[in-house]
Amino acid sequence: MPTALDLTVGAVLFDMDGTLVDSTPVVEAIWSEFADTYGADLPALLRYSHGRQTLDSVLRFLPPGHDPHEVVAALHAEEESRMDGVAEVPGAGALMRALSGIPVAVVTSAQRSLAERRMRAAGLPLPSVLVAAEDVPAGKPSPAGYLRAARLLGRHPGECIVFEDAEAGLAAGIASGAATVVVGSHESGLTADLPRVPDFRAIRIIPAGPARIRLTT
């Protein structure tokens, strides 16, 4: 039985792809083309890449004899050229707009330019703090992105809630010290005791004092 969401926090930190933005068709299509070109195991690649920076996945699956940075640059260019089918995860926009007055950040494994394009394509507001791949020394599952976001928002990680959909991102949220919530259907040993929501439509926001809110389902 999934754990219900009922948390009081002072800041909200969102992952992007798979959490706020449904970009699955374009992401899987691009990785499928990569697998065809370089002979990678596509199912293993998709499992590993979900939630991680592109360079980390390329370094793991690119065969010798190729320049990983050139390959990553080509993948980034391809991603930025494809916005068809990118959409918000149900309820994401409404929740973000309802959080007026509460510090909000997006912490993504995507490059900043791609993150901004996908957020706009999905019709989502851009928060004042967006921590992208180029802003951290290590990508998820490192907690560096979430720690940076909390610092930029002026909040201790323990005052924050993280919404994530992928194993690497969930590990990053937990390691940061923030309360961490699973969005969607991902299951692993890591998710067993975490609150879970299928999307954002059923989340209620209840004021809980100055600059604090209670999020419940």
pLDDT of residue 100: 85
Antiparallel, parallel or unpaired: β 213-216 and 6-9: antiparallel
Catalytic-residue membership of 193 = no
Please pick, among 6, 17, 56, 165, the residue that the annotation labels catalytic. Answer: 17
15 part of the active site: yes
pLDDT at 9: 97
Give the per-residue pLDDT at 1: 55
Dist CA 81 CA 190 (whole Å): 34
DSSP 17-55: BTTTEE-HHHHHHHHHHHHHHHT--HHHHHHHHTTS-HH
Amino acid present at 152: L
Active-site choice (15, 22, 56, 165): 15
Q: Which of 81, 116, 148 is the last residue of a domain?
A: 81
pLDDT given for residue 60 in this prediction = 97
Euclidean distance between CA atoms 14 and 96, whole angstroms: 10
Assess whether 35 and 102 both reside in one domain.
no
Choose the final residue of a domain: 81, 100, 130.
81
pLDDT in tens, 1-15: 568 899 999 999 999
Low-confidence ranges of the chain (pLDDT < 70): 1-2
186 and 146, same structural domain?
Answer: yes
In this structure, are 193 and 99 located in the same domain? yes
Work out how many domains the chain is built from and give that number: 2
113: CATH: 3.40.50.1000
Same domain, 17 and 64: no
**Looking at the structure, do residues 31 and 48 belong to the same domain, yes or no?**
yes
Nearest C-alpha neighbor of 180 from the set 107, 130, 119: 107
Angle at CA of residue 161, ends 104 and 131, nearest 5° = 45
Residues 212 and 11: beta-carbon distance below 8 Å: no
pLDDT at position 211: 87
99 and 44 fall within a common domain: no
Q: What single-letter amino acid sits at 59?
A: L
First-to-last C-alpha distance (Å) of the chain: 14
Q: Percentage helix, strand, coil, to 5, in the chain?
A: 40, 20, 40
* Partners of 179 in beta bridges: 161
Tell me: do 17 and 43 sit in the same domain.
Answer: no
Q: Which amino acid is at 193?
A: D
Residues 154 and 103 in one domain: yes
Domain that holds residue 157: 6-22+86-216
Chain segment 182-205, per-residue pLDDT in tens: 999 999 999 999 999 999 999 999
